[in-house]
Amino acid sequence: MNYHRPTSFEQASTIAGASDGTIRFLAGGTDVLVQLRADILTPDDLIDIKHIPGVKDISRTDDGGWRLGVAVSGAEMTEHAELSAEWPGLVEGMDLIGSTQVQGRATLAGNLCNGSPAADSVPGMIAAGCTATVTGPNGSREVPVEEIPTGPGKTVLAKGELISAITIPARGANGGDAYLRFIPRTEMDIAVVGCAVNLRLDGDTIAQARVALGAVAPTARLVAECADAIIGTTLDDATLDGLAHAASAACSPIDDKRGTIEFRTHVAGVLAKRAAKIAYDRAKGASA
């Protein structure tokens, strides 16, 4: 295994593009190293992107959003008071991944590129409207996060392409987000179902919303029907029932040891209701 330490994304892309074998990019390594240890995968070329300038930065964008470097760890996000206050749901989703030790290394971009349908940080990013900057041989482009995963363990990234930053849009006024997942224990488990809701209020009425579901389809999914069910409402009981119905209808999960199809489909609706209520309260000013 060749270990590379590029100092620019262009260089990282060139190394990846020139490799004849299996390549992996190394940020936090919490998935790649497990695969390496378990002999599931030994890359021919391992490209450590942590020495590229800016990859550990959390910075404001010109329009008031955030740009996160691809080596920013979960712990660094949680410790960032302003980011956590603006996007508590997105930050909580990341924070739910693994132990303190894993949080010290794991990254948003890594969680996204690993391609797990149950990735806890991904629904929150999708609901927030995050984009990933994809850098490759032909330059860089912005891709909505929901378009990155294409199936379990698979992404849209072509040979020589990698994510070089994650951008979170401006929070703006009267907005709130939340992420909830179901696991059978209290900590350190993989989501059976996950749901993120991000919304903005005009007075008491929901003016904009995005709802994403995780672990109930081959990829985390943006569900427009869920957003449509709550936009224009004050989240009354009938609306919440409609939201739950839309969430359940959007599920196409698998049966596995963590949950049955029936269970996941039901719980998606329950979590959508609960997450929407939390996001709504936060938009009204409740602190996380």
Partner 1 sequence: MSKQHITATVNGDEVEFLCDTRETLLDCLRDHAGIMGVKEGCGTGDCGACSVTLDGRLVCSCLVLGVEADGAEIGTVEGIAEGEKLHPLQRKFIEHAALQCGICTPGILVAAKNLLEKNPDPTETEIRYWLAGNLCRCTGYDKIVRAVMDAAAEMREAS
| Cβ neighbourhood burial of 146 (10 Å; 0-12, 13-18, 19+) | buried
Which CB, 38 or 238, lies closer to partner 1?
Answer: 38
Is 36 near partner 1 (CB under 8 A)?
yes
Q: Which of 198, 38, 48, 174 is nearest to 123 (CA)?
A: 198
Enumerate residues 100-119 that contact partner 1 by CB under 8 A.
100-102, 104-105
Among 6, 29, 175, 194, binds partner 1 (CB under 8 A): 29
**8 A C-beta contact, residue 268 and residue 180:** no
Distance CA 166, CA 69 (A): 7
Is 62 near partner 1 (CB under 8 A)?
no
Shortest separation between residue 35's beta carbon and partner 1, angstroms: 10
Is 6 near partner 1 (CB under 8 A)?
no
Q: What are phi and psi of 171, to 5 degrees?
A: -65, -45
How would you label 238-274 residue by residue, b for 16+ Cβ within 10 Å and e otherwise?
ebbebbbebbbebbebeeeebbeeeebbbbbbbbbbb
Shortest separation between residue 50's beta carbon and partner 1, angstroms: 7
Which CB, 52 or 227, lies closer to partner 1?
Answer: 52
Please report, to the nearest 10 degrees, the dihedral formed by the alpha carbons of residues 127, 195, 132, 208 taken in order: 0
Shortest separation between residue 245's beta carbon and partner 1, angstroms: 35
Token duo for residue 257: 């040891």
Shortest separation between residue 216's beta carbon and partner 1, angstroms: 25
Piece of 93-101, 199-207, 214-222, 274-282 that binds partner 1 (CB under 8 A): 93-101
**8 A C-beta contact, residue 71 and residue 107:** yes
Enumerate residues 156-175 that contact partner 1 by CB under 8 A.
none
Q: Which residues contribute to the site for partner 1 (CB under 8 A)?
A: 1-3, 26, 29-30, 33-34, 36-38, 42, 46, 48, 50, 73, 75, 98-102, 104-105, 187-188
